[in-house]
Structure 1
């Protein structure tokens, strides 16, 4: 069997939540259950700008991505921000991460976005190796201040 990329459905919650927890753990971060539940509801709500895809292999979810569209001051078309991307440790090397990115890219093209972008931590060498094979990094630095 091969990896299937698809939109999540309500019955995916438990497996999605386990993957999302793995993602948070990788980045040494904790997200409250309230925010996790709101995120899940947004992903399932087609009228909301937060969307997601999951990677499925042999009936099990092995990866996820979350993305959103937003306006830009540089173009009259939307930008697509790929916010989260995670593949379970035991499923890395299956091509799931690349397929998830390609899935988001296709949705961005379908909706007429002019840009797809994402970022990762400097220390995430495995992800950076994949990302560099898709597109070279931009020269922009990310500055962030939590409020």
Structure 2
């Protein structure tokens, strides 16, 4: 990507709200989920918070249009002195997939983790997310952990 096509990864700002709503709704739909408006409102507020233990939001922008998002947070870990970084949400608009947007967002999260002194970045995905897992296999390490939820 060159010139006006250049991809910019930057922090989420309040004026991104309409485009963020669309991207996050599409991300949720990919996982067959929908959430009420008050969750959208609360999450967006948390993403813009200055609280260091709250969520952080990044967006990928191309030609003035938001084309991707990443949400992450830092938290304590019982086996490490430093905080670790959890990449909660990652999404690239289907029309721009395969152009490095997911990689750029993950690398930006890696950079934020490095700046914060967090030695570990981890994320989850569903087994059926084969296309994204091709990227994840190149830039991450698949772990043997299996996730459980409370009944």
The 3-state SS of whatever aligns with 1:68 is strand
User: 1:65·1:86 contact (CA, 8 Å) conserved in 2?
Assistant: yes
Q: Which runs of 5+ in 2 are unaligned?
A: none
Deviation sequence 1:1-46 (CA, Å, 0-9, x none): 2111000111100000000000000000011110110110111112
Structure 1: give runs of 5+ residues left out of the alignment: none
**Under a length normalisation based on structure 2, what TM-score does the superposition of the two structures give?**
0.93
State the match for 2:55 in structure 1. 50
- C-alpha deviations, 1:34-82, integer Å up to 9, x for none? 0110110111112252001000000000000100111111011001000
1:82 correspondence with 2:84: no
Which runs of structure 2 are paired with 1:1-147 in the superposition (5 Å)?
A: 1-48=5-52, 49-145=54-150
Aligned length: 146
Query: RMSD of aligned C-alpha atoms?
Result: 1.0
Moved over 2 A (4+): none
